[in-house]
Chain A
Amino acid sequence: MDTSEFDEVMVEFITESRENLDDLDTALVTLEQHPDAGVIAKIFRSIHTIKGTSGFLGLRTLESVTHIGENLLSKMRDGAMPVTRENTTALLSMVDAVRAILDRVEATGAEGTETYASLIEELSRLNGADAFAATPAPAPDPEVAAPDTAVPDTQIAPTGSSTESVPDTAGSAPASAKRRTKEASVTPLKPRRVRSKRPAKKDDEVPAPTVEPPKLGEQLIDAGLIDAEQLDGALQQQDAGDPRHVGEILVEHEVIKPTDVVDALKAQTEDRPVANESIRVDVGLLDDLMNLVGELVLARNQILQYNASVFDPGFSATSQRLNLITSELQEGVMKTRMQPIDNIWNKFPRIVRDLSLACSKNARLEMEGKHTEVDKTLLEAIKDPLTHLIRNAIDHGLETPEVRMATGKPDEGVVRLSAYHEGGQVIIEIADDGAGIDANVIRRKAVQKGLLTADEAATRPDRDIVNVIFMPGFSTAEQVSNISGRGVGMDVVKTNIESIGGTVDVQTVVGRGTTFKVKIPLTLAIIPALLVRAGGERYAIPQVSLVELVRLDGESAVAGIESVQGAPVHRLRGKLLPLVYLNEVFGTTPAPADDAVNIVVVQSDDTQFGLVVDEISDTAEIVVKPLGRLLKGAAGFAGATIMGDGRVALILDLLGVSQLAGVNSTSAARAQAEAAAARAAETRTDRESILIVGIGERRFALPLAHVTRLEELPVASVRSAGDQRVVHYRDLILPLVSLADRLGISARPEDPEQLQVLVCGNGERSVGLIVDSVFDIVDERLDYSNRTESYGVVGTTVIAGEVTDVLDIRAFVAHDVLAASEAAA
């Protein structure tokens, strides 16, 4: 046989078998949960194809392993053998063995010396649970026309021995035991005869729909590849004692090519599609195509730009056409690289099964959105992170069945995978209904491991704390298991996902479960982006991160930017948007301002911030090119691209920029989003009346409950008693405190003749606080996000669309006075 042709057949066999094997894992696990004849038949067919071809290719070990497995499967298909955990485990091990053999064949060209004796023995034992079948392997293929009439007595001999093994399997396979007991109740002789007939019949019927018709020889005749004479010759040679298969003999006689035999073997077991609608293409070729399309997109952009500068209707029409064709070509080539996420998900049922057995947990895997398509490169990149998250969900997430029952949950835990497209991204969620993550446990561990200071741990909100699991060196597993808990993992998951421009986020409810949300871009190669200018250079901002554009001009350019503790913010529809000046971050000189402020509102991780740039130019499709090795570690850039004018522009990495600017995920923005969410969830009863007052040019808020009355007193009535200003009020001497003085703000009373006084306390225990003006009383939940260090202020919030500081009233009024006013209220 021609070596190269043989190699070709071998390579194709290995590739196809691998694909089949991947499906097999899933199918076997499905089968274990929901026995289904169709699934068994499918598994049977896959194994049969591998067995048939391996026999033909001279892979004897592979043939014997699959042969024995096939026998077991054939019994399961006929209902002669139940689907049990034991059977499934053995079949899964067989799949692993097949995989290992294929790997060796690919690497060394030979099967190696491992014979898988114990696996074959185990499969034989399971096979033997039924009277028939401990056929010595390798056995002749059905198509070799094994004489099925007159089964000699010797073949029945194993029957006796395997009857003895019945009690052995009975324990693990109650269903089959039951069926067998029925048969066993008949006299010992009879069943033997019955069985001796059944297998013979089985050989006829069982593989019948899939294996028997048409036989290989007949099929080759039908295909016009050989004639009846040649077949007869081969069959005679076989009868004369040639142990080889018909196909092999024919190839040796150079009647047919090996590929024909393989095709025929395949056709025997597969329902061939009417026409071959798909072809195999080398991934490298697709990568090259993608690169070329990238170059084409750049050239197209340059032509479009040139077109804008000349007036030539003919050229303009052609370039428009070029534009359209390029876009369609780009889309088409991208599609060729898209693969359903199921290509990696199909490994997970097996992982879940094996893991839950290993951890003595009861887990069910649910998958939704299997057909969601993702770029091949990205798919490869998320495979390991997803596997890790699934392992974690089972090992750490789900509780043992006992614990689950005790907490009133069904003993079977559910791990739910879902994938969908949203806003140009692919979202993958891995959710379990396990114990959830207890923020306090994380706090303790984080402090123990020195990842956080006790102070940080105490003050950070739960949501931030939970994200500590993504920090390097963190692991909560009390005991290091061989599955997880070495303290490496989640940080690697996060790094891997971020390296492809994705994000990962965790949401957890103690006792209810944990959900990991992975967001990845659709593709990496060509992305839509917004072009901006800062410090004389152009930068591209990936459109995925873009939220909105805000332009402040005229007066609002000055008034629209406020400062919270020195950090610039813009009030965007009532929310504080932290501002990042790109020029400041990069240390570049701003272009002469046209007194307008251009804000690009972007989303990075979970943080929203406003990027202030010199100019917002345009949107464009850009081709992402990596930065060279010399620029490794350049923070803030995700790559570079070539613009329509041929110059290079850097692509901003917003996560990096936000880190450079100190706007990170633990910052105000997230706390605010959280507060907003909490507010929305809150019922009205949680709101309180808040008094809003003005001092100087600032607005302050304080709970109305602390104030007994609001009074307007004439300035003239103020007297001095020692160093204390007092006023005669309701037959009492009311001490006065000027908040403006205490806060170090210059007062700007609306009416210089009248004092606006907030009276706190009751009776003798009263204090009057002087403010400039009383604005409003609103019903709202008073939560402030920015803890500040300044005296008399506990934080900043937005009330009725205005930045408002929250007064720390305890700084001005004694405790018992406050108690008195609350009592009075």
Chain B
Amino acid sequence: MSTTHAPNGTVAHAAVNLCTFRLHEFTIGIDVTLVQEVLNRQDATRIPLVSDVVHGLINLRGEIVTTIDLRRRLGLPQREADQPSMNVVIRTPDGPVALVVDQIGDVIDADENLFEFPPPTLSGPHREFVTGVFKLDDALLLLIDLDRVLDHTTFKIRTEMSS
């Protein structure tokens, strides 16, 4: 097994198994062992009066799962209305949580030698969530800290509800 990767970004083995997806213009990776399943776009029930980071609620085989709008969470521009989206369901100690992403990618074995801590020049709101970068041949893969992403105490309070 070569997939021991703590969410805080430290990589213990030579290669890490990462589940990748596209978000805005980025390719993002998370530890594949944390991923429960991937769902097609779901009609989520919106929840008024909560942070707009919370996209809504979906029914996952009888279980109610909260979906997180990852673009909003990382402070990226909003998705176009007709742009497709998918749900990546993550296992957490408090039950599953779904991340809404643009498009799911491959599961890759990332070589630790290609890992680098985030460059100091990386800026923008998502800076605080990125724990490292894998320099892949065709792209840069951002490794994000799920614990921090799912820390609801840092969710921004929504001012109005989009309809």
Instruction: Give the residues in chain A near B161, CB-CB below 8 Å.
Output: 535, 586-588
The smallest C-beta distance from A417 to any residue of chain B, in angstroms, reads: 38
A647, B43: Cβ atoms closer than 8 Å? yes
- Report the minimum CB–CB distance from B88 to chain A (whole Å): 15
| B66 lies within 8 A of A630 (CB) | yes
Bound state CA distance, A631 and B62, in angstroms? Answer: 18
The tally of residues in A whose CB lies under 8 Å from a CB in B reads 30
Residues of A contacting B65 with CB < 8 Å?
628
**Chain B residues with CB below 8 A from A649, complex form:** 45
- Which chain B residue shows the least CB distance to A660? B49
Q: A587-B160, A640-B57, A650-B57 are in contact. Are A535 and B62 (CB under 8 A)?
A: no
If A586-B161, A628-B97, A636-B49 touch, does A295 touch B62 (CB 8 Å cutoff)?
yes
Complex CA distance for A323 and B41, rounded to whole angstroms: 32
A587 and B49 form a contact (CB under 8 A): yes
Does chain A have a CB within 8 A of B125? Answer: no
A819 within 8 A of B: no
Residues of chain A contacted by B150 (CB below 8 angstroms): 630
Q: A636-B48, A640-B57, A649-B45 given as contacts; is B64 within 8 A of A628 (CB)?
A: yes
A657 to chain B, nearest CB (A): 10
B71 close to A (CB within 8 Å): no
A537-B46, A586-B161, A648-B45 are contacts. A628–B66 as well, Cβ < 8 Å?
Answer: yes
B45 touches A298 (CB 8 A): no
Q: Judging by beta carbons under 8 Å apart, are A535 and B48 in contact?
A: yes
Partner of A629, one of B50, B58, B94: B94
Residue numbers in A under 8 Å from B47 (CB-CB): 631, 634, 637, 650
Residues on A with C-beta less than 8 A from B45 are: 537-538, 640, 647-650
Q: How far is the CB of A787 from chain B (nearest CB, A)?
A: 30
Find out whether the CB atom of A631 lies under 8 angstroms from the CB atom of B59. no
Q: Which residues of A contact B49 (CB under 8 A)?
A: 585-587, 634-636, 660
Contact A648 B64 (CB under 8 A): yes
Instruction: List CB contacts (< 8 Å) of B108-124 with chain A.
Output: none
Task: For A391, list chain B residues within 8 Å (CB).
Answer: none
Query: Is B77 positioned at the interface, with any CB of A under 8 Å from its CB?
Result: no
Tell me which of A588, A629, A660 contacts B163 (CB under 8 A).
Answer: A588
Is chain A's interface secondary structure helix, strand, loop, or mixed overall?
Answer: mixed
Binary interface encoding of chain B residues 36-54 relative to chain A, with 1 for a CB under 8 A from any of its CBs, else 0 = 0000000111111110001
Which residue among B44, B47, B95 has the maximum number of chain A CB atoms within 10 Å of its CB? Answer: B47
Let me know if B68 is at the binding interface, CB within 8 A: yes
Enumerate A347-402 residues with CB–CB distance to B below 8 Å: none
Q: How far is the CA of A637 from the CA of B97 in the complex (A)?
A: 19
A504-547 vs B, Cβ < 8 Å mask (1 yes, 0 no): 00000000000000000000000000000001111000000000
Interface string of A578-610 (1 = CB under 8 A from B): 000000011111000000000000000000000
**Are B95's CB and A628's CB within 8 A?**
yes
Are B59 and A648 in touch, CB under 8 angstroms? yes
Distance, CA A649 to CA B163, complexed state (A): 17
A residues near B64, Cβ cutoff 8 Å: 625, 627-628, 640, 642, 648
Q: Could you say which residues of chain B place their CB within 8 Å of the CB of A642?
A: 59, 62, 64
The residues of A that contact B43 with a CB separation of less than 8 Å are: 647
B59 touches A629 (CB 8 A): no
In-complex Cβ contact of B48 among A588, A646, A648 (8 A): A588
Taking CB atoms, residues of chain A closer than 8 Å to B152 are 629-632
Contact residue among A588, A589, A647, A660 (Cβ-Cβ distance under 8 Å from B59): A647
Question: A628 contacts B94, CB within 8 Å?
Answer: yes
Of A636, A648, A650, which contacts B58 at CB under 8 A?
Answer: A648
Asked whether A589 lies within 8 Å of B68 as measured between CB atoms, the reply is: no
Residue of A nearest to B97 (CB): A630
Instruction: Scan A616-644; emit 1 where CB is below 8 A from any B CB, else 0.
Output: 00000000010111111011110010100
Min CB distance B42 to A, Å, is 9
| CB pair B68 A648 closer than 8 Å | no
Nearest CB on A from B72, distance (A):
13
Q: How far is the CB of B149 from chain A (nearest CB, A)?
A: 11
Considering the complex, give the chain B residue whose CB is closest to the CB of A649. Answer: B45
Which residue of chain A lies nearest to B44 when distances are taken between CB atoms in the complex? A648
Inter-chain contacts of A295 with B (CB < 8 A): 62
Closest CB in chain B relative to A356 CB, distance in Å? 46
In the complex formed, the residue of A with least CB distance to B92 is: A629
Chain A residues closer than 8 Å to B68, beta-carbon distance: 630
CB neighbours (8 Å) of B58 from chain A are 648
Cβ A536 vs Cβ B50 within 8 A: no
Name the one of A585, A589, A630, A647 contacting B54, with C-beta atoms under 8 angstroms.
Answer: A630
Interface string of B59-102 (1 = CB under 8 A from A): 10011111010000000000000000000000000110100000
Nearest CB of A to B96, in Å: 9
Among B50, B95, B152, the most chain A Cβ lie within 10 Å of the Cβ of: B50
Query: In chain B, what residue has the closest Cβ to A535?
Result: B163
* A295-B62, A625-B64, A635-B49 known; A648+B57 contact, CB < 8 A: yes
* Minimal beta-carbon separation of B104 from chain A (angstroms): 22
Assess whether A536 is in contact with B163, with CB atoms less than 8 Å apart. Answer: yes
Q: How far is the CB of A165 from chain B (nearest CB, A)?
A: 63
Chain A residue numbers with a CB within 8 Å of B62 are 295, 298, 642
CA distance A298 to B63 in the complex (A): 11
Contact surface of B with A, Cβ cutoff 8 Å? 43-50, 54, 56-59, 62-66, 68, 94-95, 97, 150, 152, 155, 160-161, 163
24 inter-chain pairs at a CB distance below 8 angstroms, sorted by A residue, are: A298-B62, A535-B48, A535-B163, A537-B45, A537-B46, A538-B45, A585-B48, A587-B160, A588-B48, A588-B161, A588-B163, A589-B163, A628-B94, A628-B95, A628-B97, A629-B95, A629-B152, A630-B97, A630-B150, A632-B152, A637-B47, A647-B43, A648-B58, A660-B49
Closest 3 CB pairs of A and B: A586-B48, A589-B163, A648-B57
Contacts A630-B66, A630-B94, A636-B48 known; 13 new A-B pairs at CB < 8 A: A535-B48, A585-B48, A588-B161, A628-B64, A630-B97, A630-B155, A631-B54, A634-B47, A637-B47, A640-B64, A642-B59, A647-B59, A648-B45
